[in-house]
Amino acid sequence: MINAMIHGFILALGLILPLGVQNVFVFNQGATQPNLMRALPVVVTAAICDTLLISVAVLGISLIILSLSWLKTMIIVIGVGFLLFMGYSTWKTKPMKNGSDFEVFPPKKQILFAASVSLLNPHAILDTLGVIGTSSITYTGIEKWAFTLSCILVSWIWFLGLSLLGKMIGNIDQTGKFIIVLNKISAVIMWGTAFFLVVSLL
Alpha carbons 31 and 162: distance in angstroms, whole number: 10
In this structure, what is the dihedral angle of CA atoms 106, 110, 113, 115, given to the nearest 10 degrees? -140
pTM of the complete model: 0.74
In this structure, what is the dihedral angle of CA atoms 48, 50, 51, 52, given to the nearest 10 degrees? 90
Q: Is 174 helix (H, G, I), strand (E, B) or coil?
A: coil
Alpha carbons 77 and 75: distance in angstroms, whole number: 6
Alpha carbons 179 and 53: distance in angstroms, whole number: 30
Please tell me the predicted confidence (pLDDT) of residue 22: 83
Alpha carbons 139 and 144: distance in angstroms, whole number: 5
Please tell me the predicted confidence (pLDDT) of residue 100: 44
**Please, which contacts does 71-75 make with residues 24 or more away whose CB atoms are closer than 8 Å?**
72/122, 72/126, 73/201, 75/120, 75/122, 75/125
AA identity, residue 111: I
**Per-residue pLDDT reduced to its tens digit, 36-66:** 899 999 999 999 999 999 998 888 765 666 6
**Per-residue pLDDT reduced to its tens digit, 122-179:** 777 777 877 787 788 778 889 989 999 999 999 999 999 999 998 888 787 766 677 6
Alpha carbons 177 and 75: distance in angstroms, whole number: 35
Residue 113 scores a pLDDT above 50? yes
